[in-house]
Structure 1
């Protein structure tokens, strides 16, 4: 593997992210409004419950989880489905397919650059501010090392799911509805919108084995060390499950792309 060319793509991705600074600030402003709404919503929920602890989580635990989940979403999000849909409709995808590099690798390493910049622009500042406001409630020990490992696998899983959905563009050419459904499913079943601790027991038993949980809930539980996430309890199982989904979704995505590429129809160009 020629690491130099992949690093060059990553650098280009970082530069592209910096080029659209206004878009980043608009996104941050929108997330700020979202977090304000989340605060008042969950404050009302806890007030109506008549208890300081609901499903094993205090209001502070819930808010910290959801704020970091939002920051993690901004950090890990890729727009491969939207980009591929536009490229197929315009015909510009042909230029990427002619490059001496697989389309998947080209896209992955390009988005890595954007993810790195999003980490420094959104997740890291949010993490520092939350830790200060909560007076150091987030432990800073071995969990950080496992968190980094978990986030890397979450990034691969998230990209693989997007890659599978984006490949469907080769058949439909328009994926607005598909992408909306995908976003809703991922945000709901990953715990990014509602902590999985609030799910019904029967549903939670199913969701904990799905790949969506591995994107947000697992890294956050590793970081916050909630739900018994220690080396001997829960942590090892979650990391192994993440690795299994990384390998499975990567294999499925590559196989689906190889088969679907033969059926590509390009418009425009």
Structure 2
């Protein structure tokens, strides 16, 4: 039994190794991403600078300009780190008929998709998020705490990756019905970026909307780990509450995506078959 489990894990870990090699082979695209991010950061810097300049107070919704920029820079780094293009991968496999070959492999398809992209998470962490975190910390001279919250932050990020993957996988399977990827994925990107706090801190949402968003899974993707990392007022019980909320949504999203996949794979047609 132990050997069988070890063999199964080796199959999936080999996908991780392959994903790492694939990610390293596209170094130029990483450079383009860095340039695009710099342009984005310049735009949001002047945008939020104008917003705070028009305010009569240096603190808006409990956040200073300094706090907001730290949040948005780290949110962008976290977004790039967790972006894995699962929707495009599933949609492309469906349109080309590759999905039929994937389904006959002795692997669970959803788990296969996760490990096939897991190497990208590792590469993005060391090339995008970690350098950004260190640079922001040094530039702001300790603008956020790095103590026990770092352990909770790492756990929160792992849970956020699973939730984000399940959302992407669910949307990818929707392509079986729409037979189109672009529109569905764009809608998903907009919804997740907005409701997760990746583009606008949730503190700036109207009270009623923020209350609703706090009960949705999206804020558990970016806002939760960023809150653990940045908010110096949180205590251990607050960290545990945030992690517990994420664990709840991990279980729910895995269940929903599994059910939707098991139902949807029955309607797959390849070349009219």
For 1:32-63, what per-residue CA distance to the aligned partner results, in whole angstroms no more than 9, with x for missing partners? 10000010000000000021111110101000
Instruction: Please report how far the alpha carbon of residue 175 of structure 1 lies from its aligned counterpart in structure 2 after TM superposition.
Output: 2.4
1:48 aligns with one of 47, 54, 78: 54
Q: Is the 8 A contact 1:88 1:267 kept in 2?
A: no
Q: Is the 8 A contact 1:131 1:137 kept in 2?
A: yes
**Structure 2 Cα separation of the partners of residues 3 and 224 of structure 1:** 35
**Structure 2 Cα separation of the partners of residues 267 and 67 of structure 1:** 45
Corresponding residue for 1:153?
159
Runs of 5+ unmatched residues, structure 2? none
**Structure 2 Cα separation of the partners of residues 31 and 242 of structure 1:** 28
Q: 1:267 to 1:83 in 2, by over 3 A?
A: farther
Corresponding residue for 1:230?
235
Q: Counterparts of 1:86-165 in structure 2 under 5 Å? A: 86-165=92-171
**Structure 2 Cα separation of the partners of residues 112 and 88 of structure 1:** 21
2:187 aligns with one of 181, 185, 202: 181
Q: Counterparts of 1:170-249 in structure 2 under 5 Å? A: 170-226=176-232, 228-232=233-237, 234-249=238-253
Corresponding residue for 1:85?
91
Q: TM-score, normalised by structure 2?
A: 0.95
Corresponding residue for 1:4?
10
Q: Is the 8 A contact 2:77 2:129 kept in 1?
A: yes
For 1:137-195, what per-residue CA distance to the aligned partner results, in whole angstroms no more than 9, with x for missing partners? 22111111000100000000000001111111111211211111111010000000000
Instruction: Please report how far the alpha carbon of residue 268 of structure 1 lies from its aligned counterpart in structure 2 after TM superposition.
Output: 9.1
SS of residue matched to 1:49:
coil
**Structure 2 Cα separation of the partners of residues 122 and 267 of structure 1:** 40
Corresponding residue for 1:15?
21
Corresponding residue for 1:265?
269
Q: 1:258 to 1:29 in 2, by over 3 A?
A: same
Q: Aligned-residue CA RMSD in angstroms?
A: 1.4
Q: Is the 8 A contact 2:175 2:184 kept in 1?
A: no
Instruction: Please report how far the alpha carbon of residue 76 of structure 1 lies from its aligned counterpart in structure 2 after TM superposition.
Output: 0.5
Q: Is the 8 A contact 1:196 1:204 kept in 2?
A: yes
**Structure 1 Cα separation of the partners of residues 103 and 114 of structure 2:** 14
**Structure 2 Cα separation of the partners of residues 18 and 250 of structure 1:** 29
**Structure 1 Cα separation of the partners of residues 234 and 191 of structure 2:** 25
Corresponding residue for 1:255?
259
